[in-house]
Structure 1
Amino acid sequence: MANSILIKAATLVNEGKQTVADVLIKDGKIAKIGTQLSAPEAKEINAEGKYLLPGCIDDQVHFREPGLTHKGEIYTEAKAAVAGGITTYMEMPNTVPNALTQELLADKYQIAQHKSLANYSFYMGAGNTNLDEVLKTDPKNICGIKVFMGSSTGNMLVDDEKTLEGIFKNAPILVATHCEDESTVRHNLQLFKEKYGDAITPEMHPIIRNEEACYLSSSFAVDLAKKHQTRLHILHISTGKETFLFDNKTALADKKITSEACIHHLWFHDEDYKTKGNWIKWNPAVKTIEDRDEILKALLDDRIDVIATDHAPHTKEEKQQTYLNAPSGGPLVQHALNAMLEMYKQGKISLEKIVEKMAHNVAICFQLADRGFIREGYWADLVLVDLNASYTVKEDNILAKCKWSPFEGTTFHSEITHTFVSGHLAYEDGKFDESVKGQRLTFSR
C-alpha cells in the first residue's frame, strides 16, 4: 500500500450532494469511498471539517510555451493551477509557432510530459489554410479544435467562410470558438482612434469590443453548428444577450452546442476599469454589471455549462503600456476556485453548482475518461478546501511567472490545502511535491 493515501472524514461535495466520508486512494485511483475505512500502510490525512471536491478542470488556458515563455511557461503555470485546485487543463494553440500542424501539437505534449505538474491536453489550432491538418486530429487523445472567429492574441484569425464551413462540416471532435466579429471590432476601433487618437483608455474597451461584435459572431457560430450538426463549444461568453443562444432543456451529454463562462466575466464589470485599467483588459471584454449578472443567472439555470479561466499571462511591463499597446489577458488559474468559493460565501452560488460547473460538466462536455467525479475506479483528481481559513493575494504569494494578478489585494475566505493529481499529493499546505508529473488526458469518444 506504499502508493496509498487515506483521506479521513472529509465532507465530499459531489454529484449534487454533500456527504461525510473517507476516501482511499491507491495507485492513482479512488479505490474506496466509505466510513471508518482503515488502511494501516496508507498515508493518512485528517480532513475533518474540510471539503473534498473533484479537482477543477480548466478547459481554456494559455500557458505561453513554446515561444512566449517570458510571459509564462507550462512548468510555472501548471504549478499555479495545482495550488489553485485545478488538477487538469486544456491549453490553447496560439503559442509561437502556432500549433497548426500535428507535429507542432506533438511538440507541446512532449514539453508537458516532462514539466507539467497538472494533467493536460492541448487544442489543435485552426487557421485559414490548414484544414487538412485539422482533420487529422485524433478524437481519442486531443481535447478539441480551437477556432478564433475573432483575433485575440497571435495570428490565428479564421475569417475565410469556406474554411469555416469546412471545419464545422468535417471536424472529427469538439470545435471550441472565440467569438467576436472582427469587422465590427475594427470599425469601432477606427472610430475611437479618429476621435481620441492615442488617448483611448481601458474604459473604452467594452465599447470597442461590444455586445454587437460578440453576438454577431456567436450567433453565426451557432447557426453554422446547427447547419452541420457540429459539436460546438463557445468560449468565454461575455454578454447577457449571448446567453439566450443556449439551451437548458437538453441533458448536457446530449447537447451539441455548449458554452463557457470565465471567472473575470463573473467577477468584474465595466466600472472596475476605473481602478483596474489594463489589468482587466481581456478579449472578449469585461462588460456591464447587467451582463455580469445575466451570465451568472445563465450559469445557474444551465444555459451556460462550464466555468473556466482563460488564464493568459502577460508581463507587468506589457500590461503597463498604453491601452492600444497593452495586450489582452491575465493570470487566473491560482485564484479561480477561491473566487468561486467567495461567491458561494456571498450566497450567489452553491458548492454543488461550483463542482458541477468546474469539474463534472467539463468532463461530460469533453467526454473525459474517468475524471471529473469522486467515484470508485476514477482517477483521484481531488482538492481539499478549508472554508474557515483566509488569505490575501499579494505579489509574494502569486505563483504565475508574471507575478501579478487582477485579484492582488483581495482577501479570500477559503484556502486550498491539498491538491491530488492522478492520486499524487502534488500540493500540501503551500508545499509542492514535483516527483510525479501530471498525465495526458484521454477521451471516451
Structure 2
Amino acid sequence: MSKYLIKNGTIVNENTIQVADILVDNNVILKIDKSISDSNATVIDASGKYVFPGVIDDQVHFREPGLTQKGTIASESRAAVAGGITTYMEQPNTNPQTTTIEKLEEKFALAANSSFANYSFLFGGTNDNLEELKKLDKNACSGVKLFLGSSTGNMLVDNEEVIEKIFRNTEMVISAHCEDETTIKNNLAKYKEQYGDDIPTKYHPLIRSAEACYLSSSKAIALAKKTGARFHVFHLSTGIETSLFRNDIPLKDKKITAEVCLHHLWFSDEDYASKGNLIKWNPAVKTAEDRAQLWEAFLDDRIDVLATDHAPHTLEEKDNVYTKAPSGGPLVQHALPAILEKYHQGKISLEKIVEKMCHNPAILFEIDRRGYIREGYFADLVLVDLKNSWTVTKENIAYKCGWSPFEGNTFNSKISHTFVNGHLAYENGNFSEKRNAKRLTFNR
C-alpha cells in the first residue's frame, strides 16, 4: 500500500468546511492537520478541490449473479468509484435470489474477488424463508430487504402474517420497496384495455400511482410502530408519503427512516416525453409537485438518505413496449455530479450533501468507521473539482449497459480522485485495476 498525503484540500465533513492536509496509510486516515509533512508519502495537491468522505450508496442492483448482460459487480462497482461512491449495499433480486445464508455468502465471495468498492448485501425476505432469516447474524450484512410491491425479479412479499413475523424476528434494519400491488394491477388493467401492451410511458406514474405508494408505505410504517421494528423506506417518490416521517429527533434515535433517490429529485413526469422508458423506474418518477415536496422533506430531515437505486438494463431491453420494458436505470457514476448541480443552483449546501450521502447511511446502518473524515477511520475519500465542467457522452460512460439518462447533460463538477481504503482507485478518468475493497463491518 502506498502512503498518500493530500495537501491543501477543502474538507467537507461533519457540518464544517476547512482547508487541511490528510495523511493516509495502511487503509486508514492517520492524521488530519493544517500542515503535515511526510517524506515517505506520495503528495497529491488538492488546492482548490473539495474533499468529501466516500459516498455510501444504500441501494444498488449490480445484477450478479444471473443477470450479467446488464452489469456485474466488477463493472458497476468500477463505475461507482468513478462517481465517488466507495461503499454500496446491493439488493437481493438477482438470479438466484439472495434469500438463503448460503446464497448471501456466495455473493460476498463474488465481491471479494471482483469489487472495486466496499460492499455489503441485503438479505431478501420472502413469503417462506422466515426460519432462514432467523438464523442470520445481525452483523452479517447490511440488513433485510422486502419487496412489498413487485419489481424486477418478482420477490413480492404479500403474506401479511409473514410480514409481521419478519418485523418481529430481526434486530436488523428492514428496508422495503413500498407499492400496493392490487392498486397497480387495477391501474394497469385499465390502461391495457385502452392501449394493449404499447401504453405510453407517460402513464407509468398513474399506473404505479401515488396512491399505491402511500397505501403500502403507511401500512408498513403502522406495522413497524406496532412491532417496534427498525424500518427504512426505500426510494420515496411522492409528496404525500413525506408526512409519514419525523425530523424532531436525531437520526440515531429514529426507528423509522426514509431514503430518496437522485432521479426522484431530478426528473418529473414532464420528462417522459423526451426520455420515455429510459426514466421508467419503480416507483415511478411523478409530478413536479411531488418532486418539490420530496426536496422540502429532504432538506428539513424528514428524509434521511440520498441513494441511487442503480439498476441497469440493456438498451435493447429498454427499447420494448411499455409492458415489456423493465424498470430501472444506471446512476452510480452520475449521482454525485448531479446533486452537486443543485449546490451550484443554490438549492442545497455541500455540508448537507455530505450528511445525506456519507454520514447518514453510516449512522442508519451502523457501519464501522466509514462515512466520515476522521483519524482512525478507513480512508474512503473523494476529491471534487467544483469548477471543471464536462458532458456525459457514450465515450465516458463506465456502466456495462453503455447508456445513462444523463447523456448529453453538462455537469459543472468533476470527480478527480477516489480513494478506497487508502488505495487510489480512480484518478482523472483512469482506473487502477488493483482492488482494495473490503466487506463492510458493523457496530450493532
Give the stretch that moved more between structures: 353-362 or 167-176.
Answer: 167-176
Measure how far apart 1:437 and its partner are. Answer: 2.9
1:266-277 to structure 2, matched below 5 A, reads 266-277=265-276
| Cα displacement string for residues 141-194 of structure 1 (whole angstroms, at most 9, x for unaligned residues) | 310000000011112100001110111111120000000000000010011111
Deviation at 1:111, TM superposition (A): 0.4
State the match for 2:107 in structure 1.
Answer: 108
| 1:4 Cα deviation from its structure 2 partner | 1.1
CA distance in 1, matches of 2:171, 2:135: 8
The equivalent of 1:26 in structure 2 is 25
Shift of 1:67: 0.2
Please name the residue that 2:283 is paired with. Answer: 284
**Per-residue Cα deviation, 1:404-436 (whole angstroms, up to 9, x for no partner):** 000000000010000000111100111111223
Q: Matches of 2:52 and 2:263 in 1, distance apart?
A: 22
Is the aligned partner of 1:426 residue 2:433?
Answer: no
Compute the RMSD of aligned alpha carbons.
0.7
**Quick one: distance in 1 between partners of 2:418 and 2:140?**
24
Note if 1:97 corresponds to 2:124: no
Q: Which SS does the other structure have where 1:416 is aligned?
A: strand
Aligned to 2:331: 332
1:347 corresponding residue in structure 2: 346
Q: Which residue of 1 aligns with 2:292?
A: 293
For residues 113 and 197 of structure 1, the distance between their equivalents in structure 2, rounded to whole angstroms, comes to 45
Note if contact 2:421-2:436 (Cα within 8 Å) is conserved in structure 1. no
Q: Distance in 1 between matches of 2:381 and 2:115?
A: 17
> In structure 2, what residue type is equivalent to 1:391?
W
Per the alignment, residue 239 of structure 1 pairs with 238
Kindly provide the CA deviation profile for residues 4-49 of structure 1, in whole angstroms up to 9, marking residues without a partner as x: 1000000000000100000000111011000110011101000000
- Structure 2: 5+ residue stretches without partners: none
**1:196-245 CA-partner distances (Å, limit 9, x unpaired):** 22331100000000010000000011001000110000000000000110
After TM superposition, give the deviation of residue 324 of structure 1 in Å.
Answer: 1.1
What code does the residue aligned with 1:27 have?
N
Moved more, 192-201 or 333-342: 192-201
CA contact (8 A) 1:219 1:245 kept: yes
3-state SS, counterpart of residue 197 of structure 2: helix
Match in the other structure for 2:395: 396
Correspondences of 1:17-416 after superposition (within 5 Å): 17-416=16-415
CA contact (8 A) 1:90 1:120 kept: yes
Equivalent AA in structure 1 for residue 55 of structure 2:
C
Q: Which amino acid aligns with 2:137?
A: D
Give the conservation status (yes or no) of the 8 Å contact 1:114–1:437.
no
The answer to whether structure 1 residue 11 and structure 2 residue 10 are counterparts is yes
Preserved contact between residue 115 and residue 437 of structure 1 (Cα < 8 Å): no
Deviating beyond 6 angstroms after TM superposition, the runs of 4 or more aligned structure 1 residues are none
| Alignment partners' CA distance in 1, 2:302 and 2:181 | 25
Whether contact under 8 Å (2:171, 2:229) holds in the other structure is no
In the TM superposition, what is the alpha-carbon distance from 1:393 to its structure 2 partner? 0.4
- The 10-residue stretch of structure 1 (307-316 or 434-443) with the greater mean CA deviation from structure 2: 434-443
- For 2:15, the aligned partner's letter is G
Shift of 1:98: 0.6
In the superposition, the TM-score normalised over structure 2's length comes to 0.99
Task: Read off the aligned partner of 1:139 and give its amino acid letter.
Answer: K
Letter in 2 for 1:218: S
Question: 3-state SS of the aligned residue for 1:218?
Answer: helix
Q: CA deviation at 1:137?
A: 1.7
Q: Is the 8 A contact 2:115 2:435 kept in 1?
A: no
Q: Which amino acid aligns with 2:96?
A: P
Tell me if structure 2 keeps the 8 A contact 1:28–1:379: yes
CA contact (8 A) 2:81 2:116 kept: yes
CA distance in 2, matches of 1:339, 1:38: 35
Q: Which runs of 5+ in 1 are unaligned?
A: none
Distance in 2, Cα, partners of 1:361 & 1:387 = 23
Q: Which whole-Å CA distance do the structure 1 matches of 2:427 and 2:134 have between them?
A: 42
Q: Quick check: 1:209–1:285 contact (8 Å CA) kept in 2? A: yes
Question: Deviations along 1:383-403, whole A, 9 cap, x unmatched?
Answer: 000011011001111001000
Q: Does the residue aligned with 1:236 lie in a helix, a strand or coil?
A: strand
- Is this contact kept in 1: 2:114–2:435, CA < 8 A? no
- 1: CA distance, partners of 2:401 / 2:198: 26
- Who is 1:417 aligned against? 416
Matched position secondary structure for 1:244: helix
Would you say the 8 A contact 1:119–1:440 is kept in 2? yes
